[in-house]
Copies of this chain bind each other. A is one copy, B any other.
Amino acid sequence: MIDAFCEDPLEPPSPEPDPASAESRIIARVLASTLHATPSAHVGPGDDAAVLASGEVLTTDLLVEGVHFDARSDGEDVGFKAVAVSVSDLAAMGAAPHWMLLCLALPADDAFASALARGVGQACERWGVELVGGDTTGTPGPRFIGVTMGGRCPGAPLLRSTGRPGDRILVTGVPGLAARGYTDAHAPAPALLALRRPSPSPALGIALARVASAGMDLSDGLAADLPRLCAASRVGARIDPAALPDHPALHGGPVPARTLQLAGGDDYALLITVPPELESAALEIAAAHGEALTSIGHLTPGRAVQAIDGPWPAAPWSHHAGAP
């Protein structure tokens, strides 16, 4: 994601139980105050990816052991997910991924490096991404994985900032499924799979970009991400939590299904807004791709982001939360 350097001051503050997120915000603020704006980039910091004047769409993501994954994580899953997270950023822009660069800082540990490489290779093959280079080093500390990915939008890039009051709000997939896996190592297979092997679809993102007014990927959960889209578009939102897609695997764990659906992250699904007259076209596009797309509310004038049945939920999720 490209959100390091412009925290929207209107974004509602969310509780941050993860101290890393608070630090990240401090760093971002310092950088934003020091570094220059980006006149030649069409879309700069603050969206899922940057779009250069040349049409190249760029995203960069880092995963740090102890923050985004931990000792329980399988190296192959971590490698796969490191790629998938960036694919998701590009899909959310309506872009197809083409190439990536990989930076690794790893202690001497062939088993993990080898598994990581397998996972990266699987994901590159899955999405047709070419690994064109990288840099590696040893480290005395936690493992560090940095992915930079580039691609192209066949049409206009899908931005966060172009939603309008009245537009319908829709989500792909089953928000909360990955969080079910994260909060319960014995969760059903679909939940663990959603957590460990995110499945963003650039083809769906590209097709939906033709009818959507705005969009982003659902990486930190609806509770955190919908207010970001609204802040960028300078609108409010009103959603019906009961409309969120249900799934048997969401139930039976330590966290209520509704909480997972609203506040769980790591799904790498799409959150889009669509003018009402194009909603049926969007639903047909998703059906043609064999993907779930669910209408959950609409954008409103003003700036309030609300659920119809209660207060807006807290957003406790930390981006890229680790896998058991």
Task: Please state if B62 and A132 are interface contacts (CB–CB under 8 Å).
Answer: no
Main secondary structure on chain A at its contact with chain B?
A: mixed
Number of copies of chain A assembled together: 2
Chain B residues whose CB sits within 8 angstroms of the CB of A146 once the complex forms = 60, 62, 103, 146
Task: Please state if A150 and B56 are interface contacts (CB–CB under 8 Å).
Answer: yes
Nearest Cβ distance between residue A289 and chain B, in whole angstroms? 26
Task: Please state if A67 and B148 are interface contacts (CB–CB under 8 Å).
Answer: no
Number of A residues near B (Cβ < 8 Å) is: 78
Chain B residues whose CB sits within 8 angstroms of the CB of A26 once the complex forms = 108, 110, 113
Nearest Cβ distance between residue A114 and chain B, in whole angstroms? 5
Query: Is there a chain B Cβ closer than 8 Å to A41's Cβ?
Result: yes
A65 to B65 alpha-carbon distance, docked (Å): 15
A36 to B44 alpha-carbon distance, docked (Å): 31
Query: Is there a chain B Cβ closer than 8 Å to A277's Cβ?
Result: no
Task: Please state if B49 and A139 are interface contacts (CB–CB under 8 Å).
Answer: no
A140 to B18 alpha-carbon distance, docked (Å): 12
A62 interface neighbour in B4, B117, B135, Cβ under 8 Å: B135
Known A130-B39, A146-B62: A138·B4 in contact at CB below 8 Å: no
A135 to B140 alpha-carbon distance, docked (Å): 22
Task: Please state if B108 and A22 are interface contacts (CB–CB under 8 Å).
Answer: yes
A contact residues vs B (CB 8 Å cutoff): 1-5, 19-24, 26-28, 30-31, 33-36, 38-41, 44-45, 49-50, 52, 54, 56, 58-62, 64-68, 98-99, 101-108, 110, 113-114, 117-118, 120-121, 124-125, 130-142, 144, 146, 148, 150, 319
Most B CB within 10 A of own CB, among A4, A28, A38, A107: A4
